């Protein structure tokens, strides 16, 4: 769990045990867009069969509370079967997610997508689905933790890896103010993020992420939500 000095708010990777007590999963669902954003554009003369399953990867799923709500929301919205795999680096959070899960269309796995073995597990899952990409890959409020622990290059690698396996990429980046809060908490707990002073993506990190996705990876933003109470925007890129 990597909690510092018995302070549950001072964690290295954002793996809060009580995350959904202060970040409402149901409020996040309310900010999600309409069906047309989730589905690919309809090609002329062709439509996606409504019975075709919709495959989602939820990266940084924590204890699975939001993952379950997202599954219910998408099945109602898209009117088709939805399969979600949630992944997180914290074994105890995944254990909680598994213990609370009764839906056979939702699965969980403890892995790190930046690790070669972990990412290989995801690609094997895609192969089992006979797909090259997920219909949607979601990473809600985790870009900051990747950034703080793996530098600018690590965040870029993370975004590229996910982009390569996503038809639709959903990103909820934390603004710079959240970085400063995380650093202060770790400092109070007697620790820190050694790479923080070296980051080049700083006060404009949200714009840097958007520019990287659009200009380097060739994606196009199709939707941006209104800000959450934490002033975070959920952005959809196709």
pLDDT value at residue 229: 87
With respect to residue 229, please indicate whether it lies within any of the assigned structural domains.
Answer: yes
CATH number for the domain spanning 80: value is 3.40.50.150
Label residue 206 by pLDDT band (50, 70, 90). Answer: very high
pLDDT value at residue 4: 46
With respect to residue 15, please indicate whether it lies within any of the assigned structural domains.
Answer: no
Residues 123 and 157 in one domain: no
pLDDT value at residue 14: 73
pLDDT value at residue 24: 84
Residues 115 and 179 in one domain: no
pLDDT value at residue 13: 81
Q: Which of 79, 97, 132 is the last residue of a domain?
A: 132
Q: Which domain holds residue 107?
A: 53-132
Label residue 6 by pLDDT band (50, 70, 90). Answer: low
Residues 161 and 206 in one domain: yes
With respect to residue 10, please indicate whether it lies within any of the assigned structural domains.
Answer: no
Q: Which whole number is the average pLDDT over 190-205?
A: 96
- In this predicted structure, the answer to whether residue 223 has a pLDDT above a threshold of 70 is yes
On whether the CB atoms of residues 80 and 52 are closer than 8 A, the answer is: yes
Residues 222 and 176 in one domain: yes
pLDDT per residue as tens digits for the range 23-41? 789 899 999 999 999 999 8
Residues 58 and 126 in one domain: yes
With respect to residue 71, please indicate whether it lies within any of the assigned structural domains.
Answer: yes
Q: Which whole number is the average pLDDT over 112-127?
A: 97
Q: In the chain, pLDDT over 70 holds for what percent of residues? A: 89
**Burial class of 7 by CB neighbour count within 10 A (0 to 12, 13 to 18, 19+):** middle
pLDDT value at residue 21: 65
Residues 62 and 106 in one domain: yes
Residues 197 and 229 in one domain: yes
- In this predicted structure, the answer to whether residue 87 has a pLDDT above a threshold of 50 is yes
pLDDT per residue as tens digits for the range 143-193? 999 999 999 999 999 999 999 999 999 999 999 999 999 999 999 889 999
Residues 61 and 127 in one domain: yes
Q: Which whole number is the average pLDDT over 209-236?
A: 96
Residues 159 and 200 in one domain: yes
pLDDT value at residue 103: 98
Domain count for the chain: 2
With respect to residue 175, please indicate whether it lies within any of the assigned structural domains.
Answer: yes
With respect to residue 76, please indicate whether it lies within any of the assigned structural domains.
Answer: yes
Q: Which of 132, 162, 177 is the last residue of a domain?
A: 132
Residues 159 and 94 in one domain: no
Residues 124 and 199 in one domain: no
- In this predicted structure, the answer to whether residue 222 has a pLDDT above a threshold of 60 is yes
pTM for this model (two decimals): 0.93
With respect to residue 138, please indicate whether it lies within any of the assigned structural domains.
Answer: no
Q: Which of 132, 160, 187 is the last residue of a domain?
A: 132
């Amino acid at each position: 769990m990597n909690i510092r000095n018995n302070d549950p708010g001072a964690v290295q990777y954002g793996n809060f045990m009580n995350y959904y007590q202060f970040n409402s999963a149901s409020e996040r669902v309310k900010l999600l867009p309409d069906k047309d954003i989730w589905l690919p554009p309809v090609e002329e003369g062709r439509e996606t069969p409504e019975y075709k399953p919709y495959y989602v990867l939820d990266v940084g799923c924590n204890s699975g509370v939001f993952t379950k709500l997202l599954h219910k929301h998408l099945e109602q919205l898209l009117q088709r079967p939805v399969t979600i795999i949630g992944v997180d680096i914290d074994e105890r959070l995944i254990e909680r997610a598994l213990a609370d899960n009764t839906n056979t269309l939702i699965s969980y796995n403890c892995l790190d997508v930046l690790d070669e073995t972990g990412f290989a597990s995801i690609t094997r899952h895609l192969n089992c689905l006979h797909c090259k990409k997920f219909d949607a890959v979601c990473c809600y409020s985790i870009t900051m933790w990747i950034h703080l622990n793996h530098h600018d290059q690590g965040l870029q690698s993370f975004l590229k890896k996910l982009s390569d396996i996503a038809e639709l990429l959903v990103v909820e980046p934390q603004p710079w103010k959240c970085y400063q809060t995380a650093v202060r908490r770790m400092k109070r707990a007697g620790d820190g993020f050694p790479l923080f002073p070296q980051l080049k993506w700083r006060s404009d990190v949200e714009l840097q992420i958007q520019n990287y996705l659009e200009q380097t990876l060739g994606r196009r933003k199709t939707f941006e939500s209104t800000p959450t109470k934490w002033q975070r925007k959920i952005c959809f890129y196709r």
